[in-house]
Chain A
Amino acid sequence: MKRRLLALGVAACMLAGEARAADHDNLEDGQPTTLADAYAAPYLERQVHGIFRYQRSAERKHELFFEPRFELGFPRNAQISLFTPVKLVDFEKVDLGRFGADAFYNLNQETLVVPAFALGGGVEAPTGKETHGFDPYVQVYVSKLLPGMDYWNGVHVNGRWQFNAAKREDERPGRYRFVAGYAFRVSASMIGVVDYVREQIMKKDVTEDRGELGFRYQITPLLVGTVGGGAGAADGRMTGRAAVGLQYYAF
């Protein structure tokens, strides 16, 4: 199994070439926390991400995912992402998760008083064993640095509504996710992120609340490393997650 995990990591690395990063301050969903900012990747930038994520769900299941992700800055001020989490079931079997595609458009650069806004949407496809239906979603992003100081720190809010296209009896017709957080500069190479997430899960009447903390660190000019985790509760049970990832600025 170790070999398989290693192969997945190496595959992600092989996709990356020589490039430059320098936007470790650009927050990405899942790298390492759920919080994202309203800014897209630079025009025609190609990024390859590889994220290992451990999750303890409300059903007390321990799950490990590897999520490769490709991002493209296209068109200007917009970003397109393709991703598919691979579930490493019981650390032995591999199950393809839900392939997803999403995009968002950044409406404006923030000013001293007006935040940056972005609107986006996406869809998750039923590519995994336990998945069904194409579930589209719409999303809004708001970002604002705190003005009046030379310290880089700001607040971000994300809201998502996802439709459940092939609803089963015990499922919701749709669900929301709300994220509010704060990002701050630790050094020229590192930023920190802390957020609160309130997320309805597919199963009726279950909502998860969790807090997360993470760091984004520029390892080399072409490589950003991320590490983070969080804990919360859903349906009266404790939940938790941890993520470690790499982000390359590719070919």
Chain B
Amino acid sequence: MARRTSCLALVLLGGIAACSLHLDQRDMPAQLRRGYNNAFFHRHNDAFRTSAAIHYAHGKAHDVLQLDDASRTRAVDAQTDGDFVGVLRDRMRMEPSMSLFGPHTGQGAWRLYLAIDWTHHHHEQTYDILSDADVPWAKKAAVTRDAVDYYLARSDAARSPAPLDLTMRRAAVMMKPYFGRFRNAYPRTAEFFYVAHWWHPAIYEAQMLAGNDGEQEAAIGAVQGLIERALRERPQRMLLSREMMPRYSRMSPESANIFDNLHMLHGIAYDIMAYEGWSIDEKRAELYRVIDAMSEKPGDRELARAFAIPYPEVDPRRYEPWMTPAEGSMSEIMTEMMKEMWPMMSPDGASEPPPNVREQMKKKLAPGMSEGEIEGSLHDALMKIVPEMKVDLEGMKPGATPKMAAMMVSKWMAKKPAPVGTWPMEGEPTLANIPPAGPPLPAEAVDGGAP
């Protein structure tokens, strides 16, 4: 009798657990096996270790933001940045999975780690393709396409190959209560990741400039030599692929967009983890919504080239002044989105956000708190200066998509830029042919074809 009761209790407990708890499957696919696997590890081990250190920081930041006492953010920020910079300087021998240094968040929201780890595999794979001299230069684009196909086909947690302009509109996070929390409260850590997101595309572009031969070592060595300067003079924004790696973005716009979408997911996830207003269940609901919104949708690949290139002649071996300000392609996307949203938010139906709204938004897009910046999220700040602003209360809840998302997507589809041209891969490049750095070319000189 006692045995039967125990069995019944176990079945009941199992049933309750299954009904009341969210359960995921692990669903991790194997990495694509090709002859180029690990070429980056063997050929550019110092850069491989830099990448491993960055991914250590990415994993650990989730748990730091989720577990640490929110009342001591300043101290935690300094300590975390110090830790990450130290590991970056020492490098890290092997690439850790997210869970190894951020296990708590992995238990709370597994699909976040699945999306990140799977895309980090793609990062390594694409570095490998460019590193492997046995992959002829003329075949790099086709081999990268093969890796993109595999990446997109094997997991529904893959990031979209569509430009960030579109996926950010689908995610529609700007009026969420967590938006800007990470940048505001943990500015040094946020800047550390801006350095990381300068470094990743700089390495791709160094490979694109150098070709398969020994110049690749020299070009990557030059980027490695800029890390200390980048840590001293940190970018104040997330640099996009189109800014830092225009040649790679033209060779494989899908892959370039996948990285932008991953790097943006990092930023949104840190905002969510740093926000104290929601439980872990609510955070998971919101994370999974964003992960889904920024994953591939039908027709995304056809849109992959829909972006403009602001600095087509960038030389990643130089750390240019335009790389550091908060204003850039990322803030342009956000500003456009705000303009699209404002007619639905404005109490008087104005078509353009007023100057004080634009000013608060500009401040919220930069790390830390600047003079005159209102505490809290962008939504909190706007409510202070425009108290009658129309609010989508339902859309602000965890897991809910704001009503304005569909409107912003249709507006972008109507005005999206002309497709950027392909990059010629027939002849192997040489560093001797790189023109001196100059001012950005006008858009009409950039779009529509390789130089």
**Could you say which residues of chain A place their CB within 8 Å of the CB of B106?**
145
Beta-carbon contact of A111 and B97 below 8 Å: no
Cα distance A147–B24 in the bound complex, in angstroms: 17
Residues of A within 8 A of B (CB): 17-20, 22-23, 25, 39-46, 73, 76-77, 106, 108-114, 116, 145, 147-154, 185, 188-189, 218, 220-222, 250-251
B247 CB → nearest A CB, Å? 26
Q: Mark B32-61, 1 if CB is under 8 A from A, else 0.
A: 011111100100000000001000100010
Beta-carbon contact of A188 and B100 below 8 Å: yes
Pick the contact of B107: A23, A110, A151 (CB < 8 A): A110
Pick the contact of B37: A20, A39, A77, A111 (CB < 8 A): A20
Cα distance A164–B34 in the bound complex, in angstroms: 43
* Most central of A109, A147, A153, A218 by chain B CB within 10 Å: A109
Pick the contact of A20: B27, B31, B96, B102 (CB < 8 A): B31
Cα distance A185–B154 in the bound complex, in angstroms: 29
**Could you say which residues of chain B place their CB within 8 Å of the CB of A222?**
37-38
Cα distance A150–B103 in the bound complex, in angstroms: 6
* Most central of B67, B97, B103, B106 by chain A CB within 10 Å: B103
Q: Which residue from chain B places its CB closest to the CB of A74 in the assembled complex?
A: B30
**What are 28 A-B interface contacts by the 8 Å CB criterion?**
A18-B35, A22-B96, A25-B99, A39-B26, A45-B31, A77-B26, A77-B27, A106-B26, A108-B23, A109-B26, A113-B21, A147-B103, A149-B67, A149-B103, A150-B60, A150-B64, A150-B101, A152-B103, A154-B103, A188-B52, A188-B92, A188-B93, A188-B94, A188-B100, A189-B93, A189-B94, A221-B38, A221-B41
Beta-carbon contact of B104 and A17 below 8 Å: no
**Could you say which residues of chain B place their CB within 8 Å of the CB of A116?**
26
Q: Which residue from chain B places its CB closest to the CB of A21 in the assembled complex?
A: B94
Extra pairs beyond A150-B102, A152-B100 (16, CB < 8 Å): A18-B34, A18-B38, A19-B33, A19-B38, A42-B30, A44-B29, A45-B30, A76-B25, A111-B21, A111-B23, A112-B108, A148-B67, A148-B104, A149-B67, A150-B60, A150-B101
Pick the contact of A112: B36, B64, B104 (CB < 8 A): B104
**Could you say which residues of chain B place their CB within 8 Å of the CB of A148?**
67, 104
A120 CB → nearest B CB, Å? 15
B51 CB → nearest A CB, Å? 11
Instruction: Indicate whether B226 reaches chain A with its CB closer than 8 angstroms.
Output: no
**Could you say which residues of chain B place their CB within 8 Å of the CB of A153?**
103
**Could you say which residues of chain B place their CB within 8 Å of the CB of A20?**
31, 37-38, 121, 124
Beta-carbon contact of A77 and B33 below 8 Å: no
Given contacts A17-B33, A149-B103, A151-B103, contact A25 B97 (CB under 8 A): yes
**Could you say which residues of chain B place their CB within 8 Å of the CB of A108?**
23-25
Cα distance A172–B95 in the bound complex, in angstroms: 47
**Could you say which residues of chain A place their CB within 8 Å of the CB of B407?**
none
**Could you say which residues of chain B place their CB within 8 Å of the CB of A18?**
33-38
* Most central of A17, A112, A114, A148 by chain B CB within 10 Å: A112
Beta-carbon contact of B94 and A22 below 8 Å: yes
Beta-carbon contact of A112 and B280 below 8 Å: yes
Cα distance A26–B37 in the bound complex, in angstroms: 21
Cα distance A39–B28 in the bound complex, in angstroms: 10
**Could you say which residues of chain B place their CB within 8 Å of the CB of A109?**
23-26, 110
Within 8 A of A (CB), among B1-35: 17, 21-31, 33-35
Q: Which residue from chain A places its CB closest to the CB of B284 in the assembled complex?
A: A111
Beta-carbon contact of A22 and B97 below 8 Å: yes
Q: Which residue from chain A places its CB closest to the CB of B92 in the assembled complex?
A: A188
**Could you say which residues of chain A place their CB within 8 Å of the CB of B121?**
20
**Could you say which residues of chain A place their CB within 8 Å of the CB of B28?**
42-43
A242 CB → nearest B CB, Å? 25
Instruction: Indicate whether B260 reaches chain A with its CB closer than 8 angstroms.
Output: no
Beta-carbon contact of B93 and A150 below 8 Å: no
Q: Which residue from chain B places its CB closest to the CB of A72 in the assembled complex?
A: B30
Cα distance A152–B38 in the bound complex, in angstroms: 26
Beta-carbon contact of B23 and A77 below 8 Å: no
Given contacts A19-B33, A43-B30, A109-B25, contact A114 B100 (CB under 8 A): no
B133 CB → nearest A CB, Å? 14
Cα distance A42–B40 in the bound complex, in angstroms: 22
Instruction: Indicate whether B63 reaches chain A with its CB closer than 8 angstroms.
Output: yes
Given contacts A150-B64, A189-B94, A222-B37, contact A111 B26 (CB under 8 A): no
Q: Which 7 residue pairs of A and B lie closest in terms of their CB atoms, listed nearest first? A: A45-B30, A150-B63, A18-B37, A42-B30, A42-B28, A43-B29, A109-B24
Cα distance A77–B30 in the bound complex, in angstroms: 11
Q: Mark B162-187, 1 if CB is under 8 A from A, else 0.
A: 00000000000000000000000000
Given contacts A111-B107, A111-B108, A114-B17, contact A221 B25 (CB under 8 A): no
Cα distance A218–B37 in the bound complex, in angstroms: 16
**Could you say which residues of chain A place their CB within 8 Å of the CB of B103?**
145, 147, 149-154
Beta-carbon contact of A22 and B95 below 8 Å: yes
Cα distance A109–B24 in the bound complex, in angstroms: 5
Beta-carbon contact of B22 and A111 below 8 Å: yes
Q: Which residue from chain B places its CB closest to the CB of A24 in the assembled complex?
A: B94
A153 CB → nearest B CB, Å? 8
B47 CB → nearest A CB, Å? 14
**Could you say which residues of chain A place their CB within 8 Å of the CB of B17?**
114
B15 CB → nearest A CB, Å? 13
Beta-carbon contact of A44 and B108 below 8 Å: no
Cα distance A153–B26 in the bound complex, in angstroms: 18
Q: Which residue from chain B places its CB closest to the CB of A148 in the assembled complex?
A: B104
Beta-carbon contact of A150 and B96 below 8 Å: no
**Could you say which residues of chain B place their CB within 8 Å of the CB of A112?**
104, 107-108, 280
